[in-house]
Structure 1
């Protein structure tokens, strides 16, 4: 953040070459993590911005049908509900049983489906969704676009875009396991995609600035990173993200290494939760099926979060589900301290 301030103070509008070089570092880092190319990675302030840009680029002339699940994050769910109010037909597939979710999504695809949107890890339970390439293939076969929300997978468990079907959009960001902080998220755009987002900003076509009075068709940049770009943004976020990406790489914090740490930590939490009063663990105990946090159904989850916060433990809640997400720098003693605090809250109120 100090570097961002100093560049802004010293260079004013000339700072943008430095800002965009940091953005390029972030793109390269993301691409290496997910088996993509840097020019396929568009950046945005949050995943809602990127999902909205994706939706605005769909070919609504060939249909008004979307396929999704009942387990999507709040911004996507809200956006799709609003589209449904505006006349889009949205198919909401139940997430359980998760073993058949991909097949059921595939079966829900119709000839007039224009988009399929689903999570790779469920944000409510930390359950990994298997076989999503099957759903992607069904959607692509009818000409629909596919977007997978990988926020709870990025830097938490290994995956590649090829494993998800190759020709798919993928979105995630840095405010969870990647440790970047707020304001920097990404969208992988499949190569060769020629969608023309209606929700578009001037960063999407720098060449078009040469003739600002032109009234011809709106132009887009040569690759996904430009085609799905927005506009002027607060640059501190990419300075933070680039610095953390460099740190992770310098420290050997590869995705497999982070995954091994996460599995050990979540296994310890699952063991410690056994016997706690009023707790129902929702997260799979099998390692391959488990994401990077542990979800516990508990009465008054929001009150439990407040009780933990008063004891120096940070957690969050979604409805009646308490989510415990250990960071890679926590020690076993820290995890035990969190479990002790949870027991104290549940027993003592």
Structure 2
């Protein structure tokens, strides 16, 4: 089955391009264009009162759609922000800066967390333990050993690592090693909408971060986090949305917070992306598209891509360069590593000149896969290397 008919606006503007970077910027399906206009129309119609529609109708609808997608039992625990960094820092701001803070994470977390934590680490009372991800085969053992070896206030790990595509150890396998007092955050940005995910068992134990820019296909501007029920944390970095229901009441001496996911909300934001996300999730529901189906389709594409790579017999772009070989432990992109950045740059330029768009991190070249690909599309790789 081909899904390209649902992405015509983007595809028609890039007719000669094989876009192998959906893990970076996913093409938007056509349904998002009408959603973009719907936000404008609601703003024009509602003016000052558009928030009644956004908070009364749109946000609850998207919360329910995401809860269904992620098998989460409490839609009201989803909170939205323009980016994950805002949500990450809100969690970090729950800790008293005057007290010691111990963090366990990995060496492969995305910049929204890793950069911020490096800055906070400049404080003399902050300690960060980073577990190496490679070799991947023994990551679970190293991760569990680190959990057992220390006492941490915050544990932060990805669902799928952004710089490799490798799936991290599942929370179910290690959560029991932590005391209830430890705050646990899972960065699901490269897992949500790509890998079948159930948050039901740990909904009241972990914070789960994700957004619409990658596999949810709705573009930048709509990130979200699940907040455990009965959470009593008080983010210092807070905005007026965090106690939205009490705005008209006299302000109390102590700052109040909502008793649901809004506890971690910020302030005024542009909700256009939320409209686009609603359109994508409604489309999936109407068409009966599940994450499991998407994942299966992408795995077939990955197999076909690797078959084409095998046929090329290229000295650099080959299976030996793959960071990890088990597709069952991969997200929706494959990563090749080279000895030098020059090798990568020259190869990426060759591919780009042939209309194959990729992206890179250091000496690592990433190829992503999406519903707007067909298996035969990867024949275009032969053009890059003049193979007939």
- CA-atom RMSD, angstroms? 2.3
- After TM superposition, give the deviation of residue 115 of structure 1 in Å: 0.3
Instruction: Name the SS for the 2:247 alignment partner.
Output: helix
Q: 1:342 to 1:325 in 2, by over 3 A?
A: farther
Is the 1:133–1:165 Cα contact (8 Å) retained in structure 2? no
Match runs of 1:81-92 below 5 Å: 81-87=118-124, 88-92=126-130
- After TM superposition, give the deviation of residue 323 of structure 1 in Å: 0.9
| Structure 1 partner of 2:11 | none
Q: 1:269 to 1:163 in 2, by over 3 A?
A: farther
CA distance in 1, matches of 2:103, 2:368: 31
- After TM superposition, give the deviation of residue 318 of structure 1 in Å: 0.9
TM-score w.r.t. structure 2 length? 0.81
Among 283, 286, 289, the residue aligned to 1:250: 286
CA distance in 2, matches of 1:138, 1:60: 26
Match runs of 1:1-349 below 5 Å: 1-20=36-55, 21-36=57-72, 37-58=74-95, 63-87=100-124, 88-109=126-147, 112-139=151-178, 141=179, 143-162=181-200, 167-211=205-249, 214-223=251-260, 225-274=261-310, 275-279=313-317, 280-298=320-338, 299-300=341-342, 301-337=344-380, 339-343=381-385
Runs of 5+ consecutive residues of structure 2 not aligned to the other structure? 1-35
| Structure 1 partner of 2:29 | none
Q: 1:128 to 1:333 in 2, by over 3 A?
A: same
Is the 1:59–1:114 Cα contact (8 Å) retained in structure 2? no
CA distance in 2, matches of 1:116, 1:243: 34
**Mean Cα displacement is larger for which, 118-127 or 128-137?**
128-137
1:25-45 deviation per Cα after TM superposition (whole angstroms, max 9, x unaligned): 222121112121211211111
Instruction: Name the SS for the 2:153 alignment partner.
Output: strand
**Which structure is higher in RCO with an 8 Å CA cutoff and minimum separation 6?**
2
Q: How many residues align?
A: 341
1:48-103 deviation per Cα after TM superposition (whole angstroms, max 9, x unaligned): 11111111124667741100000111221101111111231000110123344344
CA distance in 2, matches of 1:170, 1:267: 30
CA distance in 2, matches of 1:173, 1:67: 23
TM-score w.r.t. structure 1 length? 0.90
Is the 2:204–2:229 Cα contact (8 Å) retained in structure 1? no
CA distance in 2, matches of 1:146, 1:237: 27
1:105-153 deviation per Cα after TM superposition (whole angstroms, max 9, x unaligned): 33324664110001111111111123433332223x1621100111111
- After TM superposition, give the deviation of residue 247 of structure 1 in Å: 1.0
Q: 1:282 to 1:162 in 2, by over 3 A?
A: farther
CA distance in 1, matches of 2:62, 2:351: 34
